[in-house]
Chains A and B, each alone.
Chain A
Amino acid sequence: MLSRTADHLYWMARYIERAENMARVLDVTYNMSLVPNAAESEAALWVTALEISGNVEAYERDYFKYEDDEYTAAGVIHYLAMDSNNPSSIYNSLRSARENAHAVRVTMTSETWENINSLWLEFSQFIDQDLAKTGLREFCDWVKARSHLFRGVCFGTMLRDDAFSFVRLGTFIERADNTARLLDVKYHLLLPEQEEIGGAVDYYEWSAILRSVSAFQAYQKIYSDTIEPWRVAELLVLRRDMPRSLHACFDEITLILEQLSGARQTECKRLAGELHAKLRFGKMRSIFQHGLHEFLEDFVQANNKLGTEIHKTFFSIVAS
């Protein structure tokens, strides 16, 4: 297929996934704000939402006018959901998804295209709403539901060809990135050194993380036990049966890259295989010994590098 087409499809899927993950972060943070004493302050709680997406500095630049300005729920929600100046806001992610889709609508089934087009048309109903006051839950639910619908319509209608593979590839590269960031930031914040674990607030915090990746029920089913941080990490990093875990993402990514590369020996295939092996044969204990934070940081970097290699191999074919 055309390199440009593959590029658009890949990014369309990434942007949809990105919007969904952002909605999950907002949703969970908002829920936490309803738990008394969950955080020291409103600012301390909402700044974590910015940290996950790596937006703290940009937010301060755009939203802090006076010396004593603080992170507020209303400000962060607007910034992450609707701000057209924030490249990773839900607004911009969905808009980019739609633009990418528009550029290659031919390659999609008409159902897939109409789904994304109507998503964008429906989005306008939220634009003038004050999400921080009312309707944030509905908004986040809507974004998640539209993302589910997008995956469903791709799965249910698209031919199993390269176009489909690039859509899936984009989804999982983005998802792996998001899960790793989420876990890293939360883990960092929730587990300062020598802190006692097991209080009520902890329970809510950890269950919130699990819920943000739709893993709460899975956790209970698998462990049938109290929520332990190291198990949460295991679930989201190493369990291959957990659909948003890093391992599950790389099961898909390696398979897709095998198919797309065919007989070619590509650097992206090798890199994905290397990462996959770490997740497949890694042990939580040794990851913790070397530091979960370091592990996740390395992972996010390697995943980024993989994205670059995918570009080199498939999207930028040089003329001669």
Chain B
Amino acid sequence: MKNSAIAFFDEMQINSASGDEAGVREIYAAYKHWLKGVPHHQLNSKRQEAELLFRRVGITFNVYGDDDGAERLIPFDIVPRILAAKEWAKLSAGAIQRVRALNMFLHDIYHKQDIIQAGLVPASVLGNSQYRPEMFGVDVPNQIYAHIAGIDLVRTSESQFYVLEDNLRTPSGVSYMLEDRKMMMRLFPELFRRYSIAPVDHYPQVLLKNLRAVAQAGVHEPTVVVLTPGAYNSAYFEHAFLAQQMGVELVEGSDLFVRNNAVYMRTTEGPQRVDVIYRRIDDDYLDPLVFNADSMLGVPGLLSVYRDGGVTLANAVGTGVADDKATYIHVPAMIKFYLGEEPLLENVPTYELSKADDLAYTLAHLAELVVKEVQGSGGYGMLVGPAASKKELADFKERIIANPANYIAQPTLALSTCPTLVEQGIAPRHVDLRPFVLSGKTVSLVPGALCRVAMKEGSLVVNSSQGGGTKDTWVLQEAAGEAMHSASPTDATQEVSTC
């Protein structure tokens, strides 16, 4: 799909047509200078080296419904995305503000429901399939629901960022942020010597500290575990990686059991009490006694212990009601309502197709809009109007008319592009950004993010399940342009792989 009519904001070079140094954004100037001196074949061999290493370490991704590629690599791009300290400061403050408000919303919606009384969020939110009545009146430690939140951001111009969506259930991808960084440091140490790039490696430590902080009151040395659906889950690598980095057990549902209103794991020395479960299993599969009765992944009785405060789940049960696309629209209002602050990050203008006006507009302008299912994720079940064929548009129209409330529509954003290494050389590709906000004792995030890149020319879909890749994201600690100029291109050749 090509959108040649739209002028995209390229993060390296504003005026990419000119091809020379003119229009290179200052933050990229030094990198661009360095890049110019590195021959294409050398970049290619670095990319191959990265692929080999990822394969050996087993940093792989399982794609549902794909028989031949049971374990696939996510394409990794060796060109970093660079953000200035100032840009990052704004994004991180905005993300933190958003997550604070969302946690307050979740507490409110499962308690007094003030925001509905105030008329800012419609009562229909209580009928949302992600709203869990089981959670009503349940108190969770520190009133934190979304301990780990992934905030998806896109950029359309020098100063304009939008929040595309919030991920508050079991957001994934942080292992790529960490592994991509490790890889870049291995492939291009000379760039790290000269650029002052904020480190991200302490993420697992921050995560562990926050998880320990939300154990039930009175537990001094809480036992934290990571709960995974198992080795065949698409994100298993990440589950294993995080457990290892935090030094905690990686458990499956069958490793846990409930007794005397507490959760235990089966160990070689007998049962051991578990206090905090960082669960990477959806609500529906957590407890076959309450939710999906066929689930083999969960722990029978878990929810009853949880509701009585005998164990902490991170994220909490029922967070899906807050990251639903129908709720998304109200986040700016939540920020004002709960925090009394102006939102630092903007939402994408969104049409709610449950409203007659919005529906009429959307149907009339379908070819210009992006339409998403309210509860869809992973890039499935969405329509990108400008890229769709006439038949696809007609088919989708029927689906919308059949159930308008199931959809929202947004203008097709002119997503920014970043230089990316592809077959033909370095070319602009569309990117998004997912920083991970951690809440427990405090709300914070490490200076970095998962940067997803659509590897296909012109494509706006960055999801890994749809062939998207990842990039390392560099947050520069200071304007380091001058220092970078001294990095000579020949440095790249001196690095010898040791694999």
A and B from one assembly? yes
Contact residues of A with B, CB < 8 Å? 1-6, 99, 102-107, 110, 113-114, 117-118, 121, 162, 166, 260, 262, 314-315, 317, 319-320
CA distance A107 to B257 in the complex (A): 21
> With A4-B252, A105-B240, A106-B243 given, is the CB distance from A317 to B57 under 8 Å?
no
A-B contact count (CB 8 A): 66
- By a CB distance below 8 angstroms, the chain B residues around A317 are 266-267, 270-271
Partner of B58, one of A117, A260, A314, A319: A117
How far, in angstroms, from A68 to B392 measured CA to CA in the complex? 64
**Contact assessment for B56 and A117 in the assembled complex, using a CB-CB cutoff below 8 Å:** yes
Distance in angstroms between the alpha carbons of A143 and B58 in the assembled complex: 21
User: CA separation between A304 and B244, bound complex, in Å?
Assistant: 33
Q: Chain B's nearest CB lies how many Å from the CB of A43?
A: 39
- Chain A nearest CB, measured from B62 CB (Å): 11
**In the complex, per-residue mask of B212-249: 1 if CB is within 8 Å of any chain A CB, else 0:** 00000000000000000011000000001101100001
Are B259 and A2 in contact, with the CB atoms below 8 A?
no
**Identity of the chain B residue whose Cβ is nearest the Cβ of A122 in the assembled complex:** B56
Is B266 touching A3 in the complex (CB atoms < 8 A)? yes
Which residues of chain A are near B257, meaning CB under 8 Å? 319-320
Q: How far is the CA of A102 from the CA of B269 in the complex (A)?
A: 23
5 A/B residue pairs, CB under 8 Å, sorted by A = A2-B267, A6-B268, A106-B241, A114-B58, A319-B259
Say yes or no: is B250 at the interface (Cβ < 8 Å to chain A): yes
**Seed contacts A102-B231, A106-B241; 16 additional CB < 8 Å A-B pairs:** A2-B249, A2-B255, A5-B249, A99-B231, A103-B230, A103-B231, A106-B243, A106-B244, A106-B249, A117-B57, A117-B58, A162-B268, A314-B268, A317-B271, A320-B257, A320-B259
B55: chain A residues within 8 A (beta carbon): 121
Q: Which of A99, A102, A114, A319 contacts B56 (CB 8 A)?
A: A114
> Does the CB pair B231–A114 fall under 8 Å?
no
- Beta-carbon contact of B250 and A1 below 8 Å: no
Say if the beta carbon of B197 comes within 8 Å of chain A: no
Number of interface residues of B (CB under 8 A): 25
> Given contacts A121-B56, A320-B259, is CB(A2)–CB(B266) below 8 Å?
yes
Pair B57/A114 contact, Cβ less than 8 Å? yes
Closest to A314 in B: B268
Q: Quote the shortest CB–CB distance from A55 to chain B (angstroms).
A: 29
Chain A neighbourhood of B265, CB < 8 A: 2
Q: How far is the CA of A106 from the CA of B55 in the complex (A)?
A: 17
B254: interface (CB < 8 Å): yes
B106 CB–A CB distance under 8 Å: no
- List, in ascending order, chain A residues with CB within 8 A of B187's CB: none
Contacts of A118 in B (CB 8 A): 56
CB distance from B267 to the nearest CB of A (A): 6
Q: Which residue in B58, B244, B250, B268 is a CB contact (below 8 Å) of A3? A: B268
Residues of B within 8 A of A166 (CB): 268
A103 CA to B239 CA, complexed, in Å: 11
In the bound complex, CA of A212 to CA of B440 (Å): 58
Q: How far is the CB of B241 from chain A (nearest CB, A)?
A: 8
Q: Does B251 belong to the interface (CB within 8 Å)?
A: yes
Q: B267 contacts A1, CB within 8 Å?
A: yes
B243 touches A102 (CB 8 A): no
Are B255 and A3 in contact, with the CB atoms below 8 A? yes
Please state if B56 and A3 are interface contacts (CB–CB under 8 Å): no
Please give me the residue from chain A that is nearest to B249 by CB atom. Answer: A2
Task: Give CA–CA (A315, B270) in the complex, Å.
Answer: 10
Q: Which residue of A lies closest to B58 (CB)?
A: A117
When chains A and B are docked, how far (Å) is the Cα of A185 from the Cα of B230?
41
Kindly state the separation between the CA atoms of A260 and B270 in the bound complex, as whole angstroms.
12
Residues of A close to B230: CB separation below 8 A: 103
Q: Which residues of B contact A99 (CB under 8 A)?
A: 231
Taking the closest CB of chain B, its distance from the CB of A272, in whole angstroms, is 16
Whole-angstrom distance from the CB of B239 to the nearest CB of chain A? 8
Q: With A105-B240, A317-B267, A317-B270 as given contacts, are A2 and B56 in contact (CB-CB < 8 Å)?
A: no
Rounded to whole Å, the gap between the CB of A94 and the closest CB of chain B is 15
A residues in contact with B240, CB < 8 Å:
105-106
The 7 closest A-B pairs by CB, nearest first: A317-B266, A319-B257, A106-B244, A314-B268, A106-B250, A3-B266, A106-B243
* Bound Cα distance from A32 to B58, whole angstroms: 40
Q: Which residues of A contact B56 (CB under 8 A)?
A: 114, 117-118, 121
Whole-angstrom distance from the CB of B204 to the nearest CB of chain A? 12
Does the CB pair A105–B266 fall under 8 Å? Answer: no
A162 to B272, CA, bound (A): 15
Complex interface: chain B residues within 8 A of A4 (CB): 251-252, 254-255, 266
Within the assembled complex, what's the spacing in Å between the Cα atoms of A37 and B362? Answer: 87
Residues of A close to B267: CB separation below 8 A: 1-3, 317
Within the complex, the shortest CB–CB distance from B333 to chain A, in Å, comes to 42
Q: What A residues does B58 contact at CB under 8 A?
A: 102, 105, 113-114, 117
B36 to chain A minimum Cβ distance, whole angstroms, is 35
Whether B251 lies near A2 (C-beta < 8 A) is yes
Q: What is the minimal beta-carbon distance from A294 to any residue of chain B, in angstroms? A: 35
B241: A residues at CB distance < 8 A:
106
Residues of B within 8 A of A2 (CB): 249, 251, 255, 265-268
Residues on B with C-beta less than 8 A from A113 are 57-58
Chain B residues within 8 Å of A5, by CB: 249
* Distance, CA A239 to CA B241, complexed state (A): 43
CA distance A5 to B231 in the complex (A): 13
Q: Which B residues are in CB contact (< 8 Å) with A104?
A: 250
